């Protein structure tokens, strides 16, 4: 774990009365922190201890990565909108329809290189989640975004030059895991609930090596408008692998052994999120 995270002191919550056992969350094992860190991941886990000044109602908290040495800051329209939540015993951040609760990790991604992103979230049964993640290049009008809408997971860009769409066959009564990646040649891959992988060859991001992209979580950009793109869901985790396409082995050779990054992610989702021990 990075030094700045170790040195951050977060006071523990205390209570004078006995707390019901059903609201007590078990602490996260340090084993997955090390395993994600060894894969080169930047892992944002919505634990209360990683959200600084969460009790300040006037501002939304800075969100420290559990590993990877980065932090996510509230998008400019997110002025105190972020709220802690929990779902099925998992600590989460809540996202509200037509209210910007988003975060950004500035200059997180090399626009011309490979990267992979994973998001673990629980959709609302009544209101679709809409925007989940956005890769927004600095100084360019186009951007790539991942959303759940119209009963499908959709990866596309703002100009509509490509679309990867995976229909959702069943309702989600727990958490959903979605992974997408981009290789150095510009090919995007999308994997939904550990099953289906689709790819598309495109060049929607800038090709200049010096260009960087901001990562937005739960929104498209710093713009205060476009409220129709903001839906409802609770977010447990976002994992970024800069410079790595973790779906490449499955994409090129279906059925082959996956890489260490994908294996760690699957183990975490099954053991910690889905409780499949």
Q: How far apart are CA 242 and CA 248, in angstroms?
A: 14
Average pLDDT, integer, range 216-240: 95
Average pLDDT, integer, range 25-34: 67
The answer to whether 213 and 126 have CB atoms below 8 angstroms apart is no
Tens of pLDDT along 144-175? 999 999 999 999 999 888 899 999 987 888 99
Least confident of 43-52, 89-98, 133-142, 187-196: 187-196
What is the pLDDT at residue 46?
96
Place of tokens 């205390």: 14
pLDDT for 37 beyond 90:
yes
Average pLDDT, integer, range 211-216: 93
What is the pLDDT at residue 203?
54
pLDDT for 274 beyond 60:
yes
For Cα atoms 152, 153, 159, give the angle at the middle one, nearest 5 degrees: 105
Tell me the pLDDT band of 2, cut-offs 50, 70 and 90.
Answer: very low
Within 10 Å of residue 16's Cβ, how many Cβ atoms?
Answer: 4
Structure tokens, 98: 């037509």
Predicted model pTM? 0.84
What is the pLDDT at residue 136?
94
Least confident of 19-33, 110-124, 195-209, 223-237: 19-33
């Amino acid at each position: 774990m990075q030094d700045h995270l170790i040195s951050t002191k977060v006071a523990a919550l205390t209570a004078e009365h006995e707390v019901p056992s059903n609201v007590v969350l078990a602490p996260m094992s340090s084993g997955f922190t090390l395993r994600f860190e060894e894969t080169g991941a930047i892992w944002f886990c919505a634990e209360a201890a990683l959200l600084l000044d969460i009790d300040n109602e006037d501002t939304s908290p800075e969100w420290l990565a559990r590993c990877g040495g980065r932090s996510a800051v509230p998008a400019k329209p997110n002025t105190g909108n972020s709220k802690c939540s929990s779902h099925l015993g998992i600590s989460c951040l809540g996202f509200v329809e037509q209210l910007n609760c988003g975060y950004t990790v500035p200059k997180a991604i090399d626009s011309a290189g490979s990267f992979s992103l994973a998001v673990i979230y629980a959709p609302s049964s009544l209101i679709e989640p809409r925007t989940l993640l956005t890769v927004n290049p600095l100084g360019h009008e186009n951007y790539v975004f991942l959303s759940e809408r119209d009963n499908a997971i959709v990866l596309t860009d703002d100009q509509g030059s490509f679309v990867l769409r995976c229909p959702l066959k069943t309702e989600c009564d727990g958490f959903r895991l979605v992974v997408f990646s981009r290789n150095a040649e510009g090919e995007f891959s999308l994997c939904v609930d550990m099953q289906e992988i689709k790819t598309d060859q495109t060049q929607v991001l800038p090709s200049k090596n010096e260009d960087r992209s901001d990562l937005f979580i739960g929104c498209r950009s710093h713009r205060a408008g476009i409220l129709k793109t903001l839906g409802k869901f609770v977010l447990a985790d976002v994992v970024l692998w800069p410079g790595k396409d973790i779906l490449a082995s499955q994409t090129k050779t279906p059925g082959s052994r996956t890489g260490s990054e994908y294996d760690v992610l699957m183990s975490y989702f099954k053991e910690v999120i889905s409780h499949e021990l």
